[in-house]
Chain A
Amino acid sequence: MIDFMLIFRILVFPGFTFVLFLTLFCDWVERKIEARIQNRVGPMVAGPGGILQPLADFIKLLTKEDITPRDAKKTIFKFAPLVAFSIMVFAMAFLPIDGGSVISASGFNGDLIIILAFVTIANFLLFLAGWASCNPYGSIGSARVLTQFLGYDIPLTLLALTPAFIAGSLNIFSIAYIQVTQLLPFILLAPWAFVLFIITMQAELEKDPFDIPHADSEVVGGLETEYTGGKLAFLHLTRDVQIVFGAALVVELFLGGPYGPVFFGLPEFWYSLWFILKLLAVVIITEYITTVFARLRIDQVLRANWKILLPAAILSLVLTVAMVTWIYPMVV
């Protein structure tokens, strides 16, 4: 007996197709915001308000000539972008989007750890992609990716533990659900962790002021330098999915996930709507940070990580433990 509902959930909604189009939509939103802040108009031609521009760019890249350099390590060079993209989409499948995650029974106690591990693996695959291209700029760019995510993975995990601790669970579904049903969204209960998490996410996703691996004035295209055609399309898409995933993680951990008031009809519809709206809010915040700062230098970024963010993350955890143990029981 084939479960058509399951196939639909995996392939169409809230699975692959939905994630793909959400990613392209968020890309358009980012480009529009950046353009408007910079006094430009942004995409205008493809579709109403240029909304189809990211899709057009993706299709255009797919039709371009696909070159594999002679010196490149061919297997890794070809498959790393695809695998990185697949892993990010797979990680999205664990997040409750329309009330439950893609496969209803996939959630288990501890899937927050798995998701964070997926982010690391995807970043590592991107590093491999640049490294395998055997190009000096690609090597430097990917070495920078590695240096940066090794540093920022630790504070990210520590900060992700804050909501887990308040919720008393490592299950992402429970963390999101408990914020709306029993407690307040954690952005109100632990705002310090929220701010730190956004900053760390910004560094983890290599966005300004931390977009050192993409510093085109220093390392040309970074790890993308040797990539063309379809493989480049998937590298771009991986990056966009990463950004959406980062925003989605913030939504799940601090903004109460997809849960919100249901006015009439299907709860799935309202949950998806709340999810998208909250996601857009986070995307707007991160894009705003991106546009108003200059790019820092790699040593400045690393110093900021080890000297400021890591102690701050530990302090945030300590503060949370103290609050949960002594303060919240009196309030909530």
Chain B
Amino acid sequence: MPNSSIDIINVIESKLKDKVQIQKGQLSTAAITVSNGLHRDVIQAMVDADPYTAISAITGLDLGASLGVYYHVRTSNAFLTIKAEVPKENPKIQTITDITPSGVFHELEVSDLFGVAFEGNPLPGHFVLPETWPQGIYPLRKDVNANEVKLDPPLEEEKKPSEGKLVKIIIGPQHPALLEPEKFAVTVDGETVTKVEPRIGYVHRGIEKASESRTYLQDIYLVERICGICTTIHAADFCETVEKLLKAEVPQRAKYLRVIALELNRLHSHFLTLGHAGLEIGYETLFQYFWRDREPIMDLIELTSGSRVYPSIMTIGGVRRDLKDTDLPKIKTTLIELRKKLPFYRQVYENEPSLRARMKNVGILKREDALKLGVVGPVARGSGVDIDVRKDEPYEAYSEIPFKEIVYQDGDTWARMNVRMDEVEESINIIEYALDHLPAGPFRVKVPRVVPPGEAVNRVEAPRGELFCYIKSNGTAMPERVKVRTPTYANIPSFLKTAIGENIADVPPNFVSLDPCFSCTDR
């Protein structure tokens, strides 16, 4: 947890007292309403005061006559929302990427889905929508009609001759190293990478839009399907946000049961990545070992929830299934067996010479860059940035459970993987503690189906990092707007930075050390 005593609201008040309207306690720490243009000053003041300041997400909103642009900014000890508005006819706003580069991708998404032009953003063109998307139709606005969307004829693939020694290698959308469709145009000089151009959106499913036409209860299962790996955490994030809107208190037992489900989820996700990294560096044996030992974790998820991949255990007001006392010994023995295998894996990841040769000093992300680019989760912690939502803003029962925050200072691929290796052990500790201290009582409370009008933000620590959710309710059974910012979306900019200047063969291990999930990125 960043040890800091900066009172960020004080800083903003002292600098911009009369110009902005600060509502303390709204939307986590505070909501700040600004007139057009002043959002830059607020963010500038925050960046100057606190090096941990980074854009967590930018939410676009259709407010009828105007469009809302909400900047969700995290600092070392606070989480603020800066509300700006732009007119619908001429939606223009100045970019903040020159103040903090962490906003680049978030701005692109809002500009694609809401048509807000960010003046000065360095990356032009479509980022989420296809190139053939018709002009003037912005899918997440309320007045859009699906029948109007007629794609333009596909563009001819331009065949540029390679300029001099530079060769462009297209990785993706279909590539055996990427399990999901995503495109990275890598320009190489000999074997050295000189430029990386990302393009996402190949599997964009419009979950944010789809959830606006479903009830809150249906949405739990929809957002759970944002990702096939970190499933539970998406549902938990959504449920917690709705509970904030409802001002519902979750029973103590449910909090512990949620922690158990979330940590099992983290365990299997980390095992998957640790094995997959082996595959990327041609270490198939490591891959097979990790995936073998991932199986008992999947069995535990099935035991506790009834399903291996999509547990669907979260619900608004608690969990859907209680943990049977008869199941406890089975879970504990499995975890003990798992713990016995960890020293061997630790040994391999720390000391195996060929693995070290491929991972040590590969894709170094310096601490300053990690802070500037606003990376989250194990990527940030591998670069010495001590942020973990479980510690910084404890949710569920994490404030009551002791656990270590793993931080490595090296900032390379090796450090990022070893953060995960150590977190596996912490996760086992957390689950064992939660099982031992499981309180009695109900595992869910009844909540109304209709949510009162309002808005709420929530953050949780997914296996890949900070997961952000914003929900606006209009007083019906269906949400007005759901925004989810997944950790991979925040971590990809770091890859664009670290890949430059390294060998093309280092690209796969460097990339996999972000634990990229494009299914998350393309919601």
Contact = CB atoms under 8 A, between A and B. Distances in A.
Interface of A: 34, 37-40, 136, 208-209, 211-212, 215-218, 220, 291-300
Contact of B284 (A38, A215, A298): A38
Interface stretch (B311-319, B488-496, B498-506, B515-523): B498-506
Contacts of A300: 357
Interface string B280-291: 111111101100
With a 10 A CB-CB cut-off, give which of B176, B286, B504 has the most chain A CB atoms. B176
A299 B357 CA distance: 11
Given A38-B285, A220-B175, A220-B176, A297 B278 contact: no
Given A208-B282, A218-B177, A295 B358 contact: yes
A73 to B, nearest CB: 20
Nearest to A300: B357
Given A211-B282, A217-B177, 17 more contacts: A39-B288, A39-B289, A39-B292, A212-B505, A216-B176, A216-B177, A217-B176, A217-B280, A218-B507, A294-B283, A294-B354, A294-B355, A295-B282, A295-B354, A296-B354, A296-B358, A300-B357
Contacts of B357: 294, 296-297, 300
A299 B507 CA distance: 14
Nearest to B277: A294
Interface in B173-194: 175-177, 191
B169 interface: yes
Contacts of B288: 38-40
A296 B283 CA distance: 10
A211 B285 CA distance: 15
Contacts of B505: 212, 215, 218, 297-298
B289 A294 contact: no
Contacts of A297: 357-358, 503, 505-506
A230 B344 CA distance: 43
A291 B175 CA distance: 24
B508 interface: yes
A39 B285 CA distance: 9
Contacts of B176: 216-217, 220
A303 B425 CA distance: 37
Contacts of A220: 175-176
Nearest to B508: A217
B504 A37 contact: no
Contacts of B167: 136
B152 interface: no
With a 10 A CB-CB cut-off, give which of B279, B282, B292 has the most chain A CB atoms. B282
Contacts of A209: 282, 354
B368 interface: no
B352 interface: yes
A297 B359 CA distance: 11
Given A220-B175, A294-B281, A136 B169 contact: yes
B285 A37 contact: yes
B284 to A, nearest CB: 7
A294 B191 CA distance: 20
A310 B503 CA distance: 24
B289 A38 contact: yes
Nearest to B358: A294
14 contacts: A37-B285, A38-B289, A211-B282, A216-B176, A217-B177, A217-B279, A218-B177, A218-B507, A293-B354, A294-B281, A294-B286, A294-B355, A297-B357, A299-B503
A39 B289 CA distance: 7
A269 B373 CA distance: 70
With a 10 A CB-CB cut-off, give which of A216, A292, A295 has the most chain B CB atoms. A295
B354 A218 contact: no
A34 B284 CA distance: 9
Interface string B438-460: 00000000000000000000000
B503 A294 contact: no
A237 B504 CA distance: 29
Contacts of A293: 283, 354
A295 B354 CA distance: 7
A292 B285 contact: yes
B512 to A, nearest CB: 8
A298 B503 CA distance: 9
A199 to B, nearest CB: 13
A295 B292 contact: no
A138 B410 CA distance: 36
A300 B505 CA distance: 11
Given A216-B176, A217-B508, A218-B504, A295 B169 contact: no
B288 to A, nearest CB: 4
Contacts of B508: 217-218
Nearest to B278: A294
